[in-house]
Amino acid sequence: MSLSLLLQYLVIGLAVLASALHVASSRFPAGVRRLRVSLALPLLRTGREPWLRALGRRIAPLPSALAGDGCGGCNSCGSEGSQTPR
């Protein structure tokens, strides 16, 4: 396999991965948040290397109070006009 073909496959793979992450975060915000918490918690434990703790802080989502209103999805939970009657 030539180097240019390998680079092409690498770029396409990164584009597909970025697209999948964007879709997952926009369609399933609660699931992505739970996944980020479960990945970050082991890295933030006491006694870990400083670089692992820094990586855990980057992976961890913002606290709910700082994340904005709503669940992080459409942000229309608080507005009266967007709720549909059941």
Overall size of the chain counted in residues: 86
* Nearest CA-CA partner of 82 in 13, 73, 62, 32: 73
Averaged pLDDT of the chain: 84
Q: Which alpha helices (DSSP H) does 28-76 contain, by range?
A: 29-40, 50-59
Residues with Cβ within 8 Å of 77's Cβ and at least 6 positions away in sequence, in order, are: 69, 70, 71
Residue pair 36/25 in contact by the 8 Å Cβ criterion? no
pLDDT in tens, 15-43: 999 999 999 999 999 999 999 999 999 99
42 in a structural domain: yes
Task: Tell whether the model's pLDDT for residue 11 goes beyond 90.
Answer: yes
70 in a structural domain: no
Rounded to two decimals, the pTM is 0.60
30 in a structural domain: yes
Q: Give the number of domains in the chain.
A: 1
44 in a structural domain: yes
26 in a structural domain: yes
- Domain hosting residue 14, numbered range: 3-59
66 in a structural domain: no
67 in a structural domain: no
Question: How confident is residue 62, by pLDDT bands cut at 50, 70 and 90?
Answer: confident
10 in a structural domain: yes
